[in-house]
Amino acid sequence: MLSISIMGLILIIITSVVMMLASLLSKKSILDREKSSPFECGFDPKSSSRLPFSLRFFLIAVIFLIFDVEIALLLPLIVLLPLAAPMTWFYVGLFFLLILVIGLYHEWNQGALDWAN
């Protein structure tokens, strides 16, 4: 029991030393204006790099990612079709699709899909 505690303490000390060394060695000593500025094909940018973006576009992209992942979760149902009972497979697929439709209805009801506003 004591040897396990000693080994754990040695491991914690070694990892702490390595993390501190990595932190000290990775710091930049000189801040370079060229390295901290945005890069546009080797030229100075014509306008500010901090332009505002449309929050609607971001929400649509997040909704797309969520539904895309859920469609990828539906694909294994096809593989399970010969292995599962048909009614069980049907109910599981229907339940999963029902959750997707309820989520889509909620997003539609909240106005997240209205691009014109």
> What's the predicted TM-score (pTM) here?
0.46
Q: State how many domains the chain has.
A: 1
What whole-number percentage of the chain has pLDDT above 90? Answer: 18
Residue 76 lies in a domain: yes
Helices (H), the chain: 2-26, 33-36, 55-74, 76-80, 86-110
Residue 11 lies in a domain: no
Count of residues making up the chain: 117
Mean pLDDT of 84-102: 88
Domain of 73 in residue numbering reads as 59-110
117 has pLDDT over 70: no
Check residue 115 and report its DSSP letter. Answer: -
Distances (CA, A) of 94 to 47, 52, 58, 90, 101: 51, 41, 29, 6, 10
Instruction: Pick the more confident residue, 98 or 71.
Output: 98
